[in-house]
Amino acid sequence: MTLTLVAIFAIALIIGVPVAVALGVSAGVVIVLYDLPIAVMAQRAVNALDSTPLLAVPLFIFAATLLGAAGVTTHLFDFVRMIVGRIRGGVPQVSVLVSLIFSGMSGAALADIGALGAIQIRMMEEQGYSKRFAAGITIAAATIGPIFPPSIPLIIFAAAAEVSAVKLLLAGVVPALLITAALMVQVGIMARVKNFPRDTERHPPKAIAAKFWISLPALLAPILMIAGLLSGILGPTEVAGATVAYAFILGLVIYRSLGPGRIVGAARESVTATANVLFVVAGAALFAWVLTLDQIPLKASGWLLGISNDPLVLLLILNVCLLIAGMILDSIAAILIIAPIVAPTLLMAGVPPEQLGTVFVLNLMIGLLTPPVGMSLYMVSIVARMRLTDVIVGVLPFYIPLFVALGLITLFPGLSTWLPNLVMD
């Protein structure tokens, strides 16, 4: 049954069928071929979407599109550039820092690229950086978004693995800061070796202070969101709703840049993005149900535990499997298919759920930078109007800091567990 399912799914992907359709169609064909109850298709799809944690997904997507439409990114860029622009390689460092700040509002790599990519690449080109380098650091910095809260992939992982979404979101804070530091170190090394340019304009303290006050409402967005989670007053869904309300306040009251047209445009974009995500969720639920019916989770558990009971060894095996899966599967689909199969085994072996979630998502985010199905590569190629091969060449140096961060998060559970344990316990 599983071989038939995987074969149909692979053929569908090869001929260009969208991932969500390929998941649902392959599961549906197997259900018919093996005379399983067809009513299960509707039941499983609807049950997969009937999830409280998933309510946060459309809200965070809407908040990100509203903030982008309100021009928040421009204010953030200007302020951060005033602070660090004069160091060698300052503009790429600005891109990394702004990606960290904006990740506290968006929660998705592709949302970060869509909102920031064109601005980041244009600024670096204007200062003399190659377009390849600009595209590479833009893609690499976008991996911070799905790790730092609010992270849509972490919320979906929590639903798939049946673990605490709040703890997982808090677990992403330290790893995201680690990735940011690793990328900035890499840029700093490249700046020295290649003699990157720096900003020559000096900004008086008054100008910096003025820009700080203009940017402060935008800078407060991720702080307020994390404070809501830390306080325990708000869960992921409530935080998502509060972020949408704050985005409206920024756009309508403070910056006064959100008109009816922009709000409608943001809503349409959010509906499209949400439909894409939830379509994958429904298709993956059917796919995972067929795998469960064929006892694949039980077989996978026996295979993994037959190799080792050591949590570190199991995590290293998982890293290899997820890096391969990330090359060929959409990240949301990979979470929904693989997490229910492997998560129970690794949790039983002693891997903390917070560490498992961050390792899981970071692997798949690196997969977004990897051909043949690296969606971040394709999105930057469109945004920057570059050949895909040039984008791939540009991102190659940044695999180093990302793999270093992944290795540290895998080896040291405390990087993921310290903050949630401190707050929740």
The dihedral through the CA atoms of 302, 303, 304, 308 has a sign that is positive
Q: Is 163 helix (H, G, I), strand (E, B) or coil?
A: coil
DSSP state of 350: T
Domain assignment of residue 367, given as a range: 53-424
Supply the pLDDT for residue 337.
Answer: 84
DSSP state of 300: H
- The answer to whether residue 44 sits within a structural domain is no
Taking 3-state DSSP, the helix, strand and coil percentages for the chain, each rounded to the nearest 5, stand at 80, 0, 20
Residue 160 and residue 306: Cα distance in Å, rounded? 24
For residue 84, give both structure tokens: 């660090």
Nearest to 100 by CA among 222, 241, 212, 273: 222
Distances (CA, A) of 256 to 21, 143, 202, 208, 260: 41, 30, 29, 22, 11
- The answer to whether residue 217 sits within a structural domain is yes
Supply the pLDDT for residue 359.
Answer: 93
Q: Is 37 helix (H, G, I), strand (E, B) or coil?
A: coil
pLDDT digit string, tens, across residues 327-363? 777 777 788 888 888 888 898 888 999 999 999 999 9
pLDDT at 110 over 70: no
- The answer to whether residue 1 sits within a structural domain is no
Which contacts of 220-225 are long-range, i.e. CB under 8 A and separated by 24 or more positions?
Answer: 221/67, 221/72, 221/104, 221/105, 221/246, 221/247, 221/250, 222/101, 222/103, 222/104, 222/105, 222/148, 222/149, 223/104, 225/104, 225/105, 225/149, 225/150
Residue 68 and residue 88: Cα distance in Å, rounded? 28
Residue 102 and residue 97: Cα distance in Å, rounded? 9
- The answer to whether residue 20 sits within a structural domain is no
pLDDT digit string, tens, across residues 366-405? 887 877 666 677 767 776 777 878 888 888 999 999 999 9
The dihedral through the CA atoms of 112, 113, 118, 123 has a sign that is positive
Supply the pLDDT for residue 416.
Answer: 93
Question: Percent of the chain beyond pLDDT 90?
Answer: 11
23: left (phi over 0), alpha (psi -120 to 50) or beta: alpha
* Count of the separate structural domains present in the chain: 1
Supply the pLDDT for residue 104.
Answer: 58
Supply the pLDDT for residue 357.
Answer: 92
- The answer to whether residue 2 sits within a structural domain is no
415: confidence class by pLDDT, cuts 50, 70, 90: very high
- The answer to whether residue 21 sits within a structural domain is no
- The answer to whether residue 23 sits within a structural domain is no
- The answer to whether residue 216 sits within a structural domain is yes
Please name the amino acid found at residue 149. P
> Would you call 54 exposed, middle or buried from its count of C-beta atoms within 10 A (0-12, 13-18, 19+)?
buried
Mean pLDDT across 76-91: 78
